[in-house]
Amino acid sequence: MKKSFQELIQSETPLLVDFYATWCGPCKAMAPALEEIASRWNEKIKVIKIDIDKNPEAAQQWKIQAVPTLMLFRQGNVLARQAGAMSLGEMEKLLSQHV
């Protein structure tokens, strides 16, 4: 898991990562919008969710201090980072600025 996450963020296709936790209400609230994003941007980006309890190294590496935190990676670079729940429109805006 750890290795594949490191590989995924290196990819040419932008990767949107949702750092979340099972006990986080806003994360749950945002999940349907994120699913919608994943299907709308299906061709252009890849979307994954990282459970910070199961992947503490990843959360530590990227200094996650709030959940949800969305991060957008391409070829190992951080294109964008946003903590706190976002609406579908805000996610759209974020993606269209960077992808």
Closest CA to 90 of 34, 44, 45: 34
The answer to the question of residue 83 lying near other proteins (CB under 8 A) is: yes
> What distance in Å separates the CA atoms of residue 72 and residue 92, rounded to the nearest whole number?
12
> What distance in Å separates the CA atoms of residue 80 and residue 82, rounded to the nearest whole number?
7
The answer to the question of residue 50 lying near other proteins (CB under 8 A) is: no
The answer to the question of residue 21 lying near other proteins (CB under 8 A) is: yes
Note if 95 is an active site residue: no
| Among the listed residues 13, 36, 57, 77, the single contact to other proteins using CB under 8 A | 36
Note if 27 is an active site residue: yes
| Among the listed residues 2, 11, 29, 42, the single contact to other proteins using CB under 8 A | 29
The burial class, CB within 10 Å (0-12 / 13-18 / 19+), for 27 is buried
The answer to the question of residue 4 lying near other proteins (CB under 8 A) is: no
